[in-house]
Chain A
Amino acid sequence: DAGITQSPRHKVTETGTPVTLRCHQTENHRYMYWYRQDPGHGLRLIHYSYGVKDTDKGEVSDGYSVSRSKTEDFLLTLESATSSQTSVYFCAISESAGEGYEQFFGPGTRLTVL
């Protein structure tokens, strides 16, 4: 399995509190992604990074921010968590965005916002 870890694996928080999820990779891959997964919606891309300090928005970026200060770490922050952000969050990495790349996914973080 690709060296991807996510922390925490489970978190329960209250509405209005800030939350930061961490994705850590040991593969030295350039691209990193954050997805959320909700019943009936499949996986939706929140933000992605194409290098240190280089990030861009995905399909459902509102209410989320990201940062990447090191190749190995990609942080997802919910500045003020809402109940609609209760979800399972997956981090993914890929070596390239070119043809034939594949994404490797982490184990996921289950976030509950009360």
Chain B
Amino acid sequence: DAKTTQPPSMDCAEGRAANLPCNHSTISGNEYVYWYRQIHSQGPQYIIHGLKNNETNEMASLIITEDRKSSTLILPHATLRDTAVYYCIVRVIQKVTFGTGTKLQVIP
């Protein structure tokens, strides 16, 4: 499985866009990039996924570089409720591993 690298922590001002980077330089051609988040001690929550093209849904946007070696999750208008740990994962089979993620702190 491709491994991912994320910064351990980031801060973002409330109302501003939060841009969370992820490096996945060993990703294979058929592996998807997925983003989840975990608020406090709750179970992880799915956010978005993509293969090659940029994706957008009601929660976030996902920008994947053309070489697919990195991606960025964008929360367009961060709120205090977006404070969480964000996980970037790649998978092609079931044996996926979540890393330690990025702890995003949204500041009032």
- Give residues in A with beta carbon < 8 Å to B: 4, 31, 33, 35, 40-45, 48, 50, 56, 58-59, 88, 90, 92, 97, 99-100, 102-108
Contacts and interface: CB of A to CB of B under 8 A. Distances in A.
Contact of A43 (B41, B95, B97): B97
B46 A43 contact: no
Interface of B: 32, 34, 36, 41-46, 49, 51, 87, 93-101
Contacts of B93: 97
Contact of A40 (B42, B98, B100): B100
Contacts of A31: 94
Contacts of B43: 4, 90, 92, 105-108
Given A42-B97, A99-B32, A107 B87 contact: no
Contact of B44 (A40, A48, A50, A90): A90
A91 to B, nearest CB: 8
Nearest to A107: B43
Contact of A48 (B34, B42, B94, B101): B94
7 contacts: A42-B87, A43-B87, A88-B41, A102-B49, A103-B36, A103-B46, A105-B43
A109 to B, nearest CB: 11
B57 to A, nearest CB: 11
